Structure 1
Amino acid sequence: MPLTFAYGSNMDAQAMASRCKAARLIGRARLPGHRVALMPDGFATLVRDKGATAQGVLWDLSFGDLAALDRYEGAAYVKITQPVLREVGSPVRALVYIGKPGLGLGRAPEDYMMRIVAVASELELPSEHVDFLRRMAGENTEPAPRFCAIKNPKLF
């Protein structure tokens, strides 16, 4: 059965269960040389970046599920095959959906990126990656400034 690397909304097991009835989650995985980015319509895609590694999960799909996922992704995405590093085991070749420039799905829902952040956190993807997704969602991930109490009354 085809293996598929998911890095965005397809990481969500509940959402995948509704789209792909026979899908089986293999586990966490990563795709070196790529990073998550947003298309102009707000949906996630991957772009090549030699210094980055996209984090996600690997799914084992039936061919019927693959057809359903093709319909879900629509004309805005194209499938490519890439070597993916599994958390456990040897590397495998997997299908990856990449956004096509200029072809949108409409506007991404307002909570789209926050749902991806929530799933990435639940999956315990690396904290640096979750923080990166949070910044993409518009969340400030910088630590709050530290304040010190002034204990010298002569300064008042």
Structure 2
Amino acid sequence: MHARRHPYFAYGSNLCIRQMARRCPDATDPRPAVLSDHDWLINERGVATVEPFAGNQVHGVLWQLSDHDLATLDSAEGVPVRYQRDELTVHTDDGPAPAWVYIDQRVTPGPPRPGYLPKIIDGAVHHGLPQRWIDYLRRWDPARWPRPASARSASEPGPQSLSELLSAPGVLETSRLRSRFGFLAIHGGGLEEMTDVVAERAAGPPARRCI
């Protein structure tokens, strides 16, 4: 009789094979998967989570876990205080499949914890997730976030949230957000379709627009 396996969708630091080898040594058969109609973000705790958002996709990996590994992961993820474990549908090359997804209900964006984002990116690269998704993950590095045109020294950090960006002198929000995390698209191209935000820098002629 085969031991029961639990499908688990990883989208954060559990993309890292070294971390999964420590936490869930019986985990097998990782394969790329997509969670539809959700947004991905780093929240105020500095960790990844997802929340429902029609039309968006979250890329990750579908693992198969043993009973023991699932219990260990529940403990590591702080269920039910830090994360909740919900059963959702993800899609692989083989079609739709139910999977456990760990979700933190705190969805205020924030900077990642030190060393956290590189684990996610390394795992995404290892598992062959789309380059466009990897580029999106890299935009969560605060060093890449938008900087107001007003005088900031090179050593000062960029804004840590959309509200901080839009509250900077000379920066106005001139159209509505489709995704509250679309502010990442303001800095650099390639993600424009994820947001309808345009930040207009009106401090001094000529007016500048950053998209």
Which TM-score tier does this pair reach, normalised by the shorter chain?
0.7 to 0.9
SS in 1 for 2:89: strand
Q: Provide closer, same or farther for how the CA distance between residues 108 and 128 of structure 1 changes in structure 2, counting only shifts above 3 A.
A: closer
1:95 and 2:100 correspond: yes
* Alpha-carbon offset, residue 139 of structure 1: 5.0
Indicate if the aligned counterparts of 2:112 and 2:140 stay in contact, CA closer than 8 A.
no
CA distance in 2, matches of 1:98, 1:126: 22
Structure 2 segments unaligned to the other structure (5+ residues): 145-186, 190-211
* Alpha-carbon offset, residue 108 of structure 1: 5.7
List structure 1 runs of 4+ shifted beyond 3 angstroms.
139-143
Indicate if the aligned counterparts of 1:114 and 1:137 stay in contact, CA closer than 8 A.
no
1:123 and 2:127 correspond: yes
Q: How many aligned residue pairs are there?
A: 138
* Alpha-carbon offset, residue 36 of structure 1: 1.0
CA distance in 1, matches of 2:41, 2:72: 24
The one of 66, 70, 89 equivalent to 2:70 is: 66
Q: Which structure's relative contact order is higher, taking Cα pairs within 8 Å and 6+ residues apart?
A: 1
Q: Provide closer, same or farther for how the CA distance between residues 121 and 26 of structure 1 changes in structure 2, counting only shifts above 3 A.
A: closer
How much identity, in percent, do the aligned residues show? 34
Q: Provide closer, same or farther for how the CA distance between residues 24 and 30 of structure 1 changes in structure 2, counting only shifts above 3 A.
A: same
CA distance in 2, matches of 1:90, 1:38: 28
CA distance in 1, matches of 2:67, 2:99: 14
Higher helix share: 1
How is 1:6-155 mapped onto 2 (pairs within 5 angstroms)?
A: 6-74=10-78, 75-86=81-92, 88-101=93-106, 109-140=113-144, 142=188
TM-score of the two chains, using structure 1 as the length reference: 0.81
